[in-house]
Amino acid sequence: MDSMTLDDALKHHFGYDSFRPLQREIVEASLAGDDILALLPTGGGKSLCFQLPAIVRPGLTLVVSPLIALMKDQVDGLTANGIPATFLNSSIDARTGAQRLDALDRGAYDLLYVAPERLVMPSFLSQMERWNVHRIAIDEAHCVSEWGHDFRPEYRQIAVLRERFPAVPMIAVTATATDHVRDDIERFLHLHEPRRFVGSFNRPNLQYRVLGKTDPFKQLLALATARVRESGIVYVASRQSADDLAERLSAAGIRALPYHAGLSPDTRVRNQNLFIRDEVQVVCATIAFGMGIDKPNVRYVVHYDVPKNLEGYYQETGRAGRDGLPSDCVLFFSGGDAAKQRFFIRQIPGDAERARADRLLREMLDYAATSQCRRAFILRYFGEPNVADRCDGCDNCLEPTERIDGTIGAAKLLSCVYRIRAHSGFATGAKHVIDVLMGRTSEKMTSWGHDRLSTYGVGAEHTDDEWNALLSEMLRLGYLEREPTHRTVLLTGEGLAALKEQREVWFARPRVLAGKGKGRKKRAVAAVTQAADDLFEHLRRLRKRLADEQGVPPYVVFSDATLREMAASKPATLVDFRGVSGVGDMKLERYGPAFVDAIQAFEAGAASASL
C-alpha cells in the first residue's frame, strides 16, 4: 500500500493530516509482515500503529491488553470512527459474548481485544483458527518482563500464540522499557528478527515539578482548586489514603472518587466511568493498582507519595496531557517517604529481589533530589542520546533553586541522633531531636537528661524548617531511617560511616508552593484563556450532551484539542469543519452539522450582543 493511501486512510478514519514520529514507519513495517517492537511515549500514538494496518488490510487483528477498562476505551474510540472492533472479557454477560463470537465467525470485526488469561483457554485458541487472524498486537508489552515496573506473569502465556500461529506477524508496543526489558519482550514473546522502533521519551507538553511535602493535603487542595474545571489523577501509596483524600477533596468542593483494588469491581467501574465522562474531576488511585484509562484531557497528575521506581513514575505521569496540551506532573516528596519505602523493601524475600528494589528506589530518589533538569534526568535514564541539559519545562530549569551546603548541619544532626540513643538506650521522634539541637527545655528533655548532651543547643542558628529539610535529606540518603510504628529516628550503618568520614552533604532547598514556572506563563495563560473561552465552553457542553446520549466518554466524540481548534478557527461549513484535526469522515457525518450549527449560532449571538 503506497504512502498516499495511508495518508488518506489516516484522515478518513482518524481525522489526522499527518503521522506522528515513527508511526508511518511502524505501520509500513507491519503491513510488510515484520515482527515489531515499538517503544513510543504515552500519548505518542502507539495504538494507531496496529489499528491502521487492521483497517487497510483484510483479516482480524488480535489485540492482547491487560486492562478491561482500557479495552472498552479503545473499542469505544474505534467504533466512533466507524471501525468495526469489539472485546471479549469478564465484564460482558454470556449472551453478549456468544453474539460477539458469532460475529467473529462471520468476519464482522477488524480488531478484537482480549486479556492474556483468555489465551490459555484451548477453546479460545481453536476458535481463533476460524477467524482469519492476520496480525497479533501485544499492548503494554513491558508486562512480560520481571525487570519491568508492572510485571504480570500471565503475559508469559502469550507465547502460546506464536506456537499456534507461527506465521502471523506480531507487534509489541509499550511506552516504557529499559534495554533489559526490551530484550525480555523479544525473548519471551518469541519475536522473529523484530524491527525495533524507539521514539523519544520526551513529552514536551508536560511540566515536571517536585514539591517538599510539608502540608500535603493543603498543597494538593491549592493545586486542584487552581484547576477546578480540569481533570486530575492523584496517585497514593495505600487504599486508605485514596479513600481519605477523595473524601477530603469532595468535602472541600473538588469532586473526587477513589480507585483501588479494595473496591468492588462494580464500584471501580462506576468511579472510572464518572471520571472519564467528566462527572468527577479527580481520581485518587493507588500506585499499585494503576489506572487503565485512555482519557486524553487529564491536565495534571500528582504523586502524593513517592513511587517505587522511575519507570512506573514516567508511565503514570504520562497519563497527563495525552491530547498534547500543556499539563502538569507534580511529585510531593519527603525523606520520610523514602524511609517508608526502604522499610517495605527490607520485607522483600530474597537478596537479589531486595537489591533490585533498592536500586530502583535510589534512582527514583535521585530524580526527586536532583537540582539538574528533570526532563534530562528521565530521558537519560531511558538511554536517550543527545539530551539537552536544559528543557525550560521543569521546576529546576524555570526556577533554579538554591544549593545548600549541609555538611556541618548533617554532622550535628547525625551526631545528635547517635548520642540520644547512646545516652538513653532508646530512640526518639524527629521533633525531639530538633528540640535538642535547638536547645529547648521540656519535662522530657530534663528527665531524660538530653539537656546534658554535647549536641544540646548546637543548632540554634537554624530554623525548624531548615532542620526538617536536612532531616528529610538524611532520610533520602539512607543515613537515617524512621521506625514505622513509633516514628522514631535511627542512625543507619551508612549514616554512622558518613559521620565518621565527615562526608560532604549538598542539597537543593525544597520547594513547597504549587505555583507554575515562569517559562510556562505564556502557554499556561493561553491554555486557561482558551479553556475559559465562551465558545469552547459552548462546544464542550454540546459534546457532553452528545456523548451522554450515546453512552460514551466526551473525548470519544472529540478531544479537548479538537474543540479548541474549532473554537479558534470557527469553521462555518462542513468543508471547513473537515479540516479540523481529529475530524474523520465518520465524525464529520455524525457530528459535523451539530457543531457547525452551534458555532454559527454562537457567533450570531455574540454579534448581536456587541451591537
pLDDT band at residue 1 using 50, 70 and 90 as cut-offs: very low
Instruction: For 280-311, give the secondary structure using H, E and C.
Output: CCEEEEECCCCCCCCCCCEEEEEECCCCCCHH
Supply the pLDDT for residue 152. Answer: 82
Supply the pLDDT for residue 524. Answer: 43
Strands of 49-152, DSSP E? 60-64, 85-88, 111-114, 133-138
Instruction: Look at residue 523 and tell me if it is in a domain.
Output: no
Give me the percent of the chain exceeding a pLDDT of 90.
62
Count of domains forming the chain: 4
Could you tell me the CA-to-CA distances from 175 to 42, 139, 466 in Å, in that order? 5, 9, 39
Could you tell me the CA-to-CA distances from 105 to 62, 74, 98, 121, 131 in Å, in that order? 14, 22, 11, 18, 6
Supply the pLDDT for residue 154. Answer: 85
CB 596 within 8 A of CB 572: yes
Supply the pLDDT for residue 528. Answer: 41
Instruction: Look at residue 514 and tell me if it is in a domain.
Output: no
Query: Same domain, yes or no, for 421 and 501?
Result: yes
Query: Same domain, yes or no, for 393 and 463?
Result: no
Is pLDDT at 611 greater than 70 in this prediction?
A: no
Query: Same domain, yes or no, for 461 and 564?
Result: no
Query: Same domain, yes or no, for 445 and 389?
Result: no
Instruction: Look at residue 333 and tell me if it is in a domain.
Output: yes
Place of cell 523514602: 338
Question: Mean pLDDT, to the nearest integer, of 129-157?
Answer: 86
Task: Check the CA dihedral 359-360-361-365 and report its sign.
Answer: positive
Reported pTM? 0.81
Query: Same domain, yes or no, for 436 and 574?
Result: no
Query: Same domain, yes or no, for 396 and 458?
Result: no
Query: Same domain, yes or no, for 193 and 89?
Result: yes
Query: Same domain, yes or no, for 169 and 40?
Result: yes
Residue 362 CB-density burial (10 A; 0-12 exposed, 13-18 middle, 19+ buried): middle
Supply the pLDDT for residue 545. Answer: 95
Last residue of some domain: 138, 166, 198?
198
Could you tell me which residues come within 8 angstroms of residue 210 by beta carbon, excluding any fewer than 6 positions away?
330, 331, 332, 333, 368, 374, 395, 511
CATH of residue 371: 3.40.50.300
Query: Same domain, yes or no, for 284 and 213?
Result: yes
pLDDT in tens, 247-298: 999 999 999 999 998 999 889 889 988 998 899 999 999 875 655 567 889 9
Supply the pLDDT for residue 151. Answer: 79
Residue type, 488: T
Question: Mean pLDDT, to the nearest integer, of 309-322?
Answer: 89
Q: Where are the alpha helices (DSSP H) in 349-404?
A: 351-369, 374-381, 395-398
Query: Same domain, yes or no, for 302 and 223?
Result: yes
CATH of residue 588: 1.10.150.80
pLDDT band at residue 150 using 50, 70 and 90 as cut-offs: confident
pLDDT in tens, 359-401: 899 999 999 989 889 999 999 988 888 899 899 899 999 998 8
Residue type, 51: Q
Last residue of some domain: 137, 164, 198?
198
C-alpha cell at 281: 474531576
Instruction: Look at residue 374 and tell me if it is in a domain.
Output: yes
pLDDT in tens, 227-248: 988 999 999 999 999 999 999 9
Is pLDDT at 171 greater than 90 in this prediction?
A: yes
Query: Same domain, yes or no, for 397 and 413?
Result: no
pLDDT in tens, 89-101: 888 889 999 999 9
Range of the domain at 552: 533-610
Instruction: Look at residue 526 and tell me if it is in a domain.
Output: no
